[in-house]
Every structure is written in structure tokens, then in C-alpha cells.
Structure 1
């Protein structure tokens, strides 16, 4: 009987030592140190207690720790912009830091762009928009041009591109803080030699030059075609609200242009080719309001055109209030060399607080037909045809 009891005790001790060794290996991995006890004092309860202590040493996965200490994001709730990742981690939402390079990279790499829902600043280079782009400004989005001394700049440049749509652009120029005193070509949107462009509901204010410029690249024959500017307000730009220098199939509609002042021509819309091979064909101005522009509501300048040009301009439902001249036509100096042909149709328009009727400067080409109908000037109906 004593022999059997001795064998049983030895067996139990061997089990305890085995489990104790296993526990030691486990606890070493957990950086836990257990004090060895006398083998004679080891009981089943102490074994259970020791195993329980090892079990309760829970190891938290690294991934879980990362989530707990993750730095809070400064992304604005409801901001649907897909280009925030291009900005620095601690980006400013005040429009006071130059993010031109960040935005340019985003525009180059994404066809569909949603602007951040806060003001963002660019330098005088602005953002060059590639072809096949759709750009949307959110309700609090705006693009601010930082103060500079340049004669020429732009917030957005479209040069020799096609298939671009920009919705709700809110652009703010540096007019009030411009450092230089020369030049007149600081543009909100500069469109050169491009096609199939839509500018929807723009808000463009305080630019050193024009709100929107539509022309062509210098020393190139290509010109703008299929351009639409629809809706919006252009306010307090220094030279013109919109300049159309060369274009075919250009539509400006349902827009208000006001308080243009600072440097000539100071017009709401100025159609004025720079060279004799440029075009003003199928230009349509519909439902345009011009208010308190310093000189002209709408100005049509033809003196650079030659015999090779065929003009077609349609102006319908133009409402002017407070511009010095609601509409001005500038002809040519030499009718022998500048007898371009074409039509200007001006219909269904109203002028309020007008200081004068239609103003004509220089001589109009005998081949140009000017038709004015159903136009009310200070309450009096005015119809006139000049051929």
C-alpha cells in the first residue's frame, strides 16, 4: 500500500512540473515572471489559479491599438470632395495657403473632380484644366487667387482642350489686394482655343481683368467653338465681365453682370477681336442682365475685322440698368479695306435709367445689317434697322 502511494505522489509531481514548465514558456513570451514554489506545496487549486492568471493576460492586437490612437481627421462633415487626399494632412480650410501644386496634381489624375467644401487658395498660375474633365464646386467651395503683382494671371485656365464642364465655380480675384499697378489681364476663367466647354452658374468677383475671357492662343489659328456660359453672377471685375475675342457657336445666357469698373473698356460683355483673322460667328447672348457697369452694358467692336469675316451676333432679352451706354457698336476707320459682312440682331430688350440710345463709334460696314426690334428705352419702344 505504501509503495502504491509513493508511486502516485511521484506521478502527480511529474504532472505539476510539466505544466509549470509550459506555463513558464508561455509567460516568458508575455513578459510575466512567476515565482517558483516548493513542489511539496503545489496543489490542484494553485495549479488552477496559476493557469487562470496566465489566461487573463490578454494580448491586444496591434491593429486594435492603432484604431484607438488614430489621429482625428479635420475633414468637414458632408464634404464630398475626392481630392482631399492630395492636400497636406493638416490642411487649412481658410483659403490662406497656396495649394496650387496639390490641386494641379488632383486635376491631372482625376476626370471627375469635386472641389473641397471650403475656400482654397492658388497662386497667379492658377489651375490648368486638361480635356475631358467634369468639375463641381460644392456649396462652400471657392477658389481664391492670392495677392500678386502680375499683369496676367488666371484662377482656371482652359488652353487647347475639349469636353470640359465646370458647375458652380466660385472664384475670387485679388483686385482688392493686388500688389502691382500695371496690366489688365487677371482672369477668372481663361478659355483659349478650346471646344465643348460649359460653365454653369459661375460666381466670379474682383478680378484684375475679366471674369471670363474667351479667345485663342497667341500665334495659333485655332479658335474657341461650342462654348456655353449659363447662369451666375459676375461682379466688380476691373476690365470686363466677359470678353469674347474669337469664337464660333458661343452662348451666354441667364446671367447677371454688374459693377464692372477700373480700366477700359469697363463693359459687362465686350465682343472685340484682336486680329483681322478672328471670328465672331453665331454668338448668342440670351437673357443677359447688365447692371451699373461703368461704361457699356454690351460692346461690339469690329474695327479689326476684314473682308474675310462674316459676323453673326444675336442678342435677345438684354436688360440693362444704370450702365452709361446699354449697347455700343464700334465700326471701322477705312471702309475700303474693312467691309466685313454679317448681321447683328438685337431684340426684346429693356433699358432702364439709360443715359443714351444706341451708341455708334466710327463707321459701320455697309455689308453689316443691324436690326433692332421690340426694345424699350426708358419706357419708350424703339425699333430701328441699319443696313
Structure 2
């Protein structure tokens, strides 16, 4: 399936068009009183409802064993219905497990990991919805994932297949998850429309969205994130971490994130840890019109971001009133930052970045520089191939700071 065909298919296939019959979990012994352990009855219902529409209309409690969703499944949650974990001590779980299957439709799912009832110490792998190794279309419409020990939604691989394929997620709401609102590890064709990722906190990276492969053979192929909102995440609103993707196998990255708005996260957008000398990564990452409001530190930050064949374009970014933590550090207070930290041992060149029409609006007197581009180590390795095009509005008295960088300024 070509990319254009994939998007066209997602747009025109009517939800529930292939429904033959509706069934309920109560037919298979589920109680749905918000107290009883319904795990076994729900799994039986899911298994028996293949090819049908399983309608969940109550509050169902589960153990951390969660539910395994087969191919050709359709789960429909009515208003106020949800899946909620019982007290547990699991460092790892998947409440809804969509692994090595295809042709799955999940509508209006609400899952609650009840992190307040988890007595585990450590761990970070408790997932609300886990989509891994899928080989046919998976559509997840209006999901809510809250209070998970790890991520609200996780998209990755299995031992059977090293990536997911053809995943569409619409209007995901994630709140108070411990590690991420959503993690993207390995996928071929992913579209996410209008998500809201709120208040991620607990264990690193603590991002709204984290795009972070686990190994060199993972894929980031045709990822489109449209109009995401991130709010008050303890880490980045959106983080892109590519360290594990480098290696013997060549990788081509294709990511476009459009219309991102962040409010109050530590950093709105953060690029981290790309070493081009460790392997061959090519392709393009694009951020179109991102907006950062009241970030605790930077609006947009590149840390240890190497100069290789991979290109990054940040077009029409706006940073409003960042550095609410009032840091005096040139790096931590910068609205836009491209840097290597003082204690870093890396020596590879950094760059490969285009920033077009940046706008910085802030009355914060802690802002000294509007854009900081610097290797803060004693070696001061040059930062090359950075282009700033069509400089927008900058706060008075906050010039660019780029003592050891080769920056192209274009009108």
C-alpha cells in the first residue's frame, strides 16, 4: 500500500461498516460492577466476538494480565464504560494487547492503570494500549489512557515482526501516565490526529510523546502527528531520541509533526542523542508551526544532535514566555537551543538543522539570548550546517549567542 493510498483508506472507510452482529461481555459472564474481577470473562468475550462488535457498557475490573485482542476484532465502549486495573504489583503489563494481529478497530476505549493501586517498586512498562508487530490495519478512535505505570499507548515491535504497520489513532487523551503519554518505537505508516497528552510524570523520560527506537533495526517510516497538544509534562512535550537507531543497518527516518502546541512542560520539543558516526541514518524530521508556551526551560532544544545525512526542519516555531523556572544558565534559559553540555565527552560535529521564521515572545527578564548555539565543553567542537531563515520577532536585548557555530542567516 502506498502512502497516499493509506491516508485515503483511513479517511473513507466507515467505522463499523463490516459489522455483522453485536455482543456484550455480560453474555460471557462479565459482571461490570466496578468491583468484580472480570478478566477471564472479558477475555472469553473478546475471543468469541471475533468478526462481531463487542459492546462494553460498564466498568470492568481486570488483573494486570490484561486482554489479548485477536485479528478481526471490533471493541466499542459506550459512554462512561472503562477498563480499570485491580490492585497489583506489576512492573510490566498491557491492559489492551494488540500484538501480531491486524484488522482491529477499537472505539472510545477508556483504560485506567490505577497507578495508585500498584505496589511495585521500579519498572516502567505498564501500558494502557500496546500495539506491537501488527501486520494489518489497526484503528484506535477516541481512546483515553490514564494512570498507567508506563505509557498510555505504546507502538513497537515483537519477536515475530520488528515493526507495526498501518496504525491510525484519533483523538487520544492521555493523563497522569508515569513514563509517556505515547511512545513510538518502531512503525511503518502511523497517523495520529488531534491527541492531547497531559501531565506525564514519574519516571524518565516523562514526555507527552516520545519517539525513541530501542535498536538499530527499528523503523520510523512515514510518521504523521497532526495537531498534538502537550500540557504540563515533567519531561519534553515531544521528545525525539535516536541514539539506539544508529548501527550497522542503514535507517531512513520520515517524521512530520504539524501544529504542535505545548503548555507548561519542561521543554516543549527536544531532540536528543544522535551520533552520526555510530551508523548511517538519513531522511527528514519536520516540525511545522510548533508553539511553546510557558516551558519551564527551553521551547525547542537540540542536545548532542549530530551532523549527518539526517536533516531536521523546524518551520514557523513560536516560543512564548519560556524559562518559567527562572534559570540563570544560558543553555537552560534559551528559547531555542542547539548545544553540547559542559561535561559531554562526545566530539562529533553537530548540525544539519534548518529553523525558519522563528518567533520569540517573552517578557521574562531571565532570557539573555533568543537563540543559543554553542558547544559548552572546553573542546568547543564546531557546530556546522545550521540555517536560520527569515528571523522573526525577537525580544529586545536578547541577541543570538553562537561563539563556535557556523550559522547561515538567510532572509
Place the TM-score, normalised by the shorter chain, in its bin: 0.7 to 0.9
Give the superposition deviation at 1:114.
3.2
Aligned equivalent of 1:201 = 142
Q: 1:386 and 1:108 mapped to 2: Cα distance?
A: 54
Q: 1:97 and 1:148 mapped to 2: Cα distance?
A: 14
Q: Residue 97 of structure 1: SS of its match in structure 2?
A: strand
Structure 2 residue 247 is matched with structure 1 residue 271: no
Which of the pair is proportionally richer in helix? 1
Aligned equivalent of 2:358 = 382
- Any conservation in 2 of the 1:340–1:365 contact (CA below 8 Å)? no
Listed as ranges, the matches of 1:32-51 within 5 Å are none
Give the superposition deviation at 1:386.
4.5
Which residue among 42, 49, 57 is the counterpart of 1:117? Answer: 57
Alignment deviations for residues 42-68 of structure 1 (CA, whole Å, 9 cap, x no partner):
xxxxxxxxxxxxxxxxxxxxxxxxxxx
Change (3 A) 1:86 1:220: closer
Aligned equivalent of 1:151 = 91
RMSD of aligned C-alpha atoms?
1.9
Structure 2 residue 255 is matched with structure 1 residue 313: yes
Q: Residue 176 of structure 1: SS of its match in structure 2?
A: helix
- Any conservation in 2 of the 1:187–1:210 contact (CA below 8 Å)? yes
Q: Residue 44 of structure 2: SS of its match in structure 1?
A: helix
- Any conservation in 2 of the 1:239–1:263 contact (CA below 8 Å)? yes
Alignment deviations for residues 99-129 of structure 1 (CA, whole Å, 9 cap, x no partner):
1111111111113233332100111111100
Q: 1:304 and 1:116 mapped to 2: Cα distance?
A: 39
Q: 2:307 and 2:193 mapped to 1: Cα distance?
A: 28
Ranges of 4+ aligned residues in structure 1 off by more than 6 Å: none
Aligned equivalent of 2:225 = 285
Aligned equivalent of 2:308 = 366
Alignment deviations for residues 267-305 of structure 1 (CA, whole Å, 9 cap, x no partner):
000000001010111111101000000010001111112
Larger radius of gyration: 1
Gaps of 5+ in 1: 1-79
Q: 1:357 and 1:291 mapped to 2: Cα distance?
A: 13
Give the superposition deviation at 1:81.
5.4
- Any conservation in 2 of the 1:331–1:365 contact (CA below 8 Å)? no
Listed as ranges, the matches of 1:300-339 within 5 Å are 300-306=240-246, 308-333=250-275, 335-339=276-280
Q: 1:359 and 1:239 mapped to 2: Cα distance?
A: 20
- Any conservation in 2 of the 1:231–1:254 contact (CA below 8 Å)? yes
Give the superposition deviation at 1:203.
1.0
Q: 2:100 and 2:161 mapped to 1: Cα distance?
A: 11
Give the superposition deviation at 1:153.
0.7
Q: 1:141 and 1:386 mapped to 2: Cα distance?
A: 50
Which of the pair is proportionally richer in strand? 2
Aligned equivalent of 1:57 = none
Aligned equivalent of 1:64 = none
Give the superposition deviation at 1:371.
0.7
Structure 2 residue 173 is matched with structure 1 residue 233: yes
Change (3 A) 1:220 1:386: farther
201-210 vs 346-355, greater mean Cα deviation = 346-355
Q: 2:71 and 2:205 mapped to 1: Cα distance?
A: 31
Q: Residue 43 of structure 2: SS of its match in structure 1?
A: helix
| TM-score, reference length from structure 1 | 0.75
How many residues are aligned here?
Answer: 303
